């Protein structure tokens, strides 16, 4: 629309026009993005609590919710109780515990994700050659009388 003006002045004016429109729109985009980013009040409990007897040899794992996140609690063959974040590190599905999982050439306990066949060993370490590229996080388990209490406190990797 500034065709009748010299080229240099035309560029400056066009710059003002476009800049003005962007500056005008910016607060509206900001408000809308703040509006859309609202996450709500996080639901869920800060800990999960259930009796240790729930984990048996026949049924050695269970899924619980802590602060809105799925956590898998397992009873290993040596009867030690461990908890891991159950969110697969590939694309966020929920993993399950298998006492017989084909890892490499042997059948050993581990975690399996149904979505894309991701595997983790019983320490939560992702098996190379399967989709996940990072391990599950091991979480702290405390006991109170006969109950297990699980929180989102990570245990620093022992491997």
Partner 1 sequence: MDLVDALHLREPWEALKIRRIPHHRHSYWYYLGGLALFFLAIQVVTGLLLLCYYRPTPEAANQSVRMIVSNVPFGIVIRSIHAWAANILIAIVIIHTLSVFFMKSYRTPRVILWITGIVLLLILLGFGFTGYLLPWDQTSYFATMIGTELPREIPVVGDILVSWFRGSKEITGATLTRMYGLHVALLPLLALAFAATHVAISTLLGRAVPAGAKVKRETRFIPDYLLGESIIWLIGLAILLVVAVLFPWPLGPAYDLAKPSEPPAGVHPAWYFMFLYQTLKYLPNWATLWFYLIILLFWTLVPWLARVWKSWLLTGIGIILIAGFGILTTLAYFSVAQEKAGAKIGQISPTILPDSGTTGQ
Footprint of partner 1 (CB under 8 A): 1, 31-32, 34-38, 40-41
Distance, CA of 61 to CA of 69 (rounded, Å)? 16
Which C-beta is closer to partner 1: that of 1 or that of 7? 1
Which C-beta is closer to partner 1: that of 16 or that of 140? 16
Task: Report the nearest approach of partner 1 to the CB of residue 41 (Å).
Answer: 8
Task: Report the nearest approach of partner 1 to the CB of residue 8 (Å).
Answer: 19
Which C-beta is closer to partner 1: that of 39 or that of 56? 39
| Residues 122, 110 contacting (CB under 8 angstroms) | yes
Which C-beta is closer to partner 1: that of 13 or that of 115? 13
Task: Report the nearest approach of partner 1 to the CB of residue 68 (Å).
Answer: 17
Which C-beta is closer to partner 1: that of 40 or that of 128? 40
Provide the 10 A C-beta neighbour count for residue 119. 23
Task: Report the nearest approach of partner 1 to the CB of residue 11 (Å).
Answer: 14
DSSP for 28-89 reads: HHHHHHHHHH------S-SEEEEEGGGS-SSS-EEEEEETTEEEEEEE-TT--EEEEE-B-T
Task: Report the nearest approach of partner 1 to the CB of residue 29 (Å).
Answer: 11
Distance, CA of 2 to CA of 9 (rounded, Å)? 9
């Amino acid at each position: 629309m500034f065709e009748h003006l010299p080229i240099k002045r035309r560029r400056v004016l066009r710059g003002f026009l476009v800049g003005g429109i962007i500056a005008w729109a910016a607060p509206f985009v900001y408000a809308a993005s703040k509006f859309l980013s609202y996450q709500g009040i996080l639901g869920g409990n800060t800990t999960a609590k259930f009796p240790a007897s729930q984990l048996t040899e026949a049924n050695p794992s269970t899924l619980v919710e802590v602060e809105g996140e799925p956590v898998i609690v397992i009873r290993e063959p040596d009867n030690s109780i461990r908890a891991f974040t159950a969110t697969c590190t590939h694309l966020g599905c929920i993993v399950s515990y298998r006492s017989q999982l084909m890892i490499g050439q042997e059948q050993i306990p581990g975690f399996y994700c149904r979505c894309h066949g991701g595997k983790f060993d019983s320490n939560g370490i992702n098996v190379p050659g399967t989709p996940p590229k990072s391990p599950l996080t091991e979480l702290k388990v405390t006991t109170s009388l006969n109950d297990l209490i699980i929180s989102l406190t990570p245990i620093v990797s022992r491997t």
